[in-house]
Amino acid sequence: MPRAVVAATLAAAVPLLAACGGKDNSADVVAGKQLFVSKCGSCHTLARAGTKGTQGPNLDEAFQQSLQEGFGRSAVKGIVHKQILYPNRKKGEGGVMPAKLVEGDQALDVAAYVASVTGRTGQDTGLLASAVKKAGGGKTTEKNGVISVPADPTGQLAYVYSAVAATPGAVTVQMPNRSGTPHDIVIDGLGKGPVTPKGVSSFKASLDSGKTYTYYCSVPGHREAGMEGKITVQ
């Protein structure tokens, strides 16, 4: 959302925030972080959450000016909560955030977490620091002519494995995806599986001895966020 729209919406919302003030104090920000990463992180950048999505607004930047102008984080929470339930959208627009990805207390938890960390430097501490397991970084091997590299099941922009050991010859490269976030798997010059939010993206290829291949997700912003890995052929 543009910063000017954020500022105007914040100003309009401030008088209404007292009605939900009691819940502000009881929101579960640990659950909020977990939900944000799994439901929202594929589209939004939020440094403290470790997410790098680019399809939606950068949430560290979106509220920066308003916070500098004196709007409190409780006001930011109110706006985030409203946007979760009723996203701004125009008729005919594509790629807009669907309404009510989370609802009820969960929506309030996500809004409370985002409001508490947006624009802040450093790292989350305490229970928040360990609330979300870091995605990716694992290693695997080809098995019976199949290279299987699942997408992270929580929706984070990562493959479960970032390194694969393989043997020369014909293989099927596949990416099982249970996350609901659209992903694919691509090796330039060898093949590209279809983009799928749930299912398996795959293609057949032939690997040469002694070569290293890079696989990645071609959905805009996903490779840039770190969704890639290497296949080493021995």
Q: End-to-end distance of the chain based on CA atoms, in angstroms?
A: 48
d(CA 193, CA 186): 6
* pLDDT one-digit tens code per residue, 206-227: 999 999 999 999 999 999 989 9
Region for 65 from its dihedrals, namely left if φ exceeds 0, alpha if ψ lies in -120 to 50, beta otherwise? alpha
Residue 94 has pLDDT above 60, yes or no: no
Give pTM, 2 decimals. 0.74
| Res 46: pLDDT | 96
Q: Which domains does the chain have, with CATH numbers?
A: 3-130 (1.10.760.10), 138-233 (2.60.40.420)
| Res 134: pLDDT | 85
* pLDDT one-digit tens code per residue, 82-92: 999 998 755 44
| Res 23: pLDDT | 41
Beta bridge partners of 215: 229
Residue type, 191: G
What is the mean predicted confidence (pLDDT) over 148-173?
Answer: 96
* pLDDT one-digit tens code per residue, 65-82: 999 999 999 999 999 999
What is the mean predicted confidence (pLDDT) over 106-111?
Answer: 96
b or e along 215-225 (b: 16 or more beta carbons within 10 Å of the residue's beta carbon)?
bbbebebbbeb
d(CA 200, CA 193): 8
| Res 96: pLDDT | 66
The per-residue pLDDT of the chain, averaged, comes to 87
Give all strands (DSSP E) within the chain, no chain letters.
45-46, 51-52, 138-141, 146-148, 161-166, 169-177, 186-187, 191-192, 199-207, 212-216, 228-233
